[in-house]
Structure 1
Amino acid sequence: MDSLKQYVKYTYLSATVVANSVTAQNNYIVISRGNAQSVKEGMAVIDINNGVIGITSEATSGFTAVMSLLHKDSKISGKLLKSGETGTISWDGKMPNIVSFTGISKGAKVTKGDTIITSGFSTSFPKGLVIGYVEEAIPEKNTSNYSIKLRTAANFYNLQYVFVINNKQQNEINELLDKVKKQSN
């Protein structure tokens, strides 16, 4: 049984939402878990249906502020479930249930309703969590990409319970990336 424990990459901690904003340019969510429960900066947060909510930013002993997906500085790596094409998810500050998906070439087949998931190219988010569903994909003029709008999988207006995801390998991966970056400078 001990040999299995070394392969557990992620653990999940439940939390209650105690504050949530959706109409500001930089939205935050406050949850009822903090440093005392081993929550730290950079951990993924999802809703009870595995929809992406955001990333932890600051914590006290009993509470944590989460930078919402609905924050102007939020950037998450996503991919089209059906084809594997990857791009970046961000929010333009307009509608609280619509985010942008950029970096997808016009060569990709994108249709309304397609599912966008986390790519796994992050130390915070596991691969395969639902970010949202394609609302529209319009070919951009003068580029080789689409302008894609997604409806978020999570209902940010009605967040009550969430899970904080702890990647047990996050520190090791970040340390390795820091070493590589230092060597290349």
Structure 2
Amino acid sequence: MRNIIVFIRVYFTFFIFIFFLGLSLALLFRYNKYHNAVYSEAASEITGMLSTQYNNVAYYFELKRVNDSLVKANEALYNKLKADFEIADTAENAIIDALSVDSLNVFRKFLYREAKVVRNSVSQPNNYIIVHRGRNQGVRDEMGVIAPNGGVVGTVVQSSSNFSMIMSLLHSQSNVSGRLKKGGETGTVIWDGKHRNVLLLKDITKSARISQGDSVITSGFSYKFPEGLMLGTVIDIINDKSSSTYTVRIKPAVDFEDLQFVYLIENLQAAEPNELQKNIKNK
């Protein structure tokens, strides 16, 4: 006990210095936008690199159950889907600006990029996924993210030079426009906040005919995702008699605990509608 007291006395000044240094840095990064941005990017890079090393070891001991070549092949197939192209409207003369068009006058709308998952959480109130692909590889905020099976994973919320952070569907602020494939009724898909294998489809009219196992897909109302991607399948219905709508419990199309690779979706035609939305908000 005496030795501990002596140790504290000898290094007391040093401990006080470390405390106030940490406090001053915390205040600097929290209340200064520039320093906060620099800190966030550096932290993302460091976290990404450490997670990459850890993930590489885990990936090796799993004997690379996911085959890299199949992932690349899947990326190529996604980029050839007819749903990712749009036929140009030839009824009026149109000015084509910055969008590639082939000989059949068909525009590419969505482009897919594969990315390796280096960190993933599923047990927090707000879960994130970090992938080894960032701004240097063409990733931008608000890009949609899907799994190799085509199920929706989430949305990119932050990117550094070589890594990106994805807000998983298992997040309190996540919401995706979805619809029942069979009847076409639309609603909003959110997480139930408790179970990693339960999502909620909100605001479905009570006139809808819903059965267990029915598919819930993306509505196409968001510029992040193409229409028709799988969000999940119906588990059951929460019938609140005081409400005029149903809340439908659905099982996610993605196994969030087993993500090794994802595909980032770039909407090549998103700039114009996004600009229109900004102009409306500013009016």
Fold match (TM-score > 0.5): yes
After TM superposition, the structure 1 stretch with the greater mean CA deviation from structure 2, 9-18 or 171-180, is 171-180
Q: How does 1:17-166 map to 2 (within 5 A)?
A: 17-166=117-266
1:175 counterpart = 2:275: yes
TM-score in terms of structure 2 length: 0.63
Structure 1: unaligned runs, 5 residues or longer: none
Q: Is the 8 A contact 1:41 1:56 kept in 2?
A: yes
What is the aligned-residue identity percentage?
45
Q: Is the 8 A contact 1:41 1:58 kept in 2?
A: yes
Q: What is the aligned residue count?
A: 183
Bigger strand fraction? 1
Instruction: State how far apart, in whole Å, the 2-side matches of 1:17 and 1:4 are.
Output: 37
Which one-letter code corresponds to 1:141 in the other structure?
Answer: K
RMSD over equivalenced CA pairs, Å: 1.3
Deviation of residue 178 (structure 1)?
A: 1.7
Instruction: State how far apart, in whole Å, the 1-side matches of 2:102 and 2:247 are.
Output: 48
Which one-letter code corresponds to 1:87 in the other structure?
Answer: G
Instruction: State how far apart, in whole Å, the 2-side matches of 1:5 and 1:63 are.
Output: 35
What SS class does the counterpart of residue 73 from structure 1 fall into? coil
Instruction: State how far apart, in whole Å, the 2-side matches of 1:138 and 1:59 are.
Output: 37
1:10 counterpart = 2:110: yes
Deviation of residue 3 (structure 1)?
A: 4.0
Instruction: State how far apart, in whole Å, the 2-side matches of 1:6 and 1:35 are.
Output: 28
What SS class does the counterpart of residue 204 from structure 2 fall into? coil
What SS class does the counterpart of residue 107 from structure 2 fall into? coil
Which one-letter code corresponds to 1:182 in the other structure?
Answer: N
User: Which fold has the larger relative contact order, with Cα–Cα distance below 8 Å and residues 6 or more apart in sequence?
Assistant: 1
Instruction: State how far apart, in whole Å, the 2-side matches of 1:155 and 1:5 are.
Output: 38
What SS class does the counterpart of residue 226 from structure 2 fall into? coil
Q: 1:5 to 1:72 in 2, by over 3 A?
A: farther
Which one-letter code corresponds to 2:177 in the other structure?
Answer: S
Instruction: State how far apart, in whole Å, the 2-side matches of 1:60 and 1:146 are.
Output: 40
Q: Is the 8 A contact 1:24 1:93 kept in 2?
A: no
What SS class does the counterpart of residue 108 from structure 2 fall into? coil
Indicate the structure (1 or 2) with the bigger Cα radius of gyration: 2
Deviation of residue 180 (structure 1)?
A: 2.8
Deviation of residue 176 (structure 1)?
A: 1.2
Which one-letter code corresponds to 2:192 in the other structure?
Answer: D
Deviation of residue 169 (structure 1)?
A: 1.0
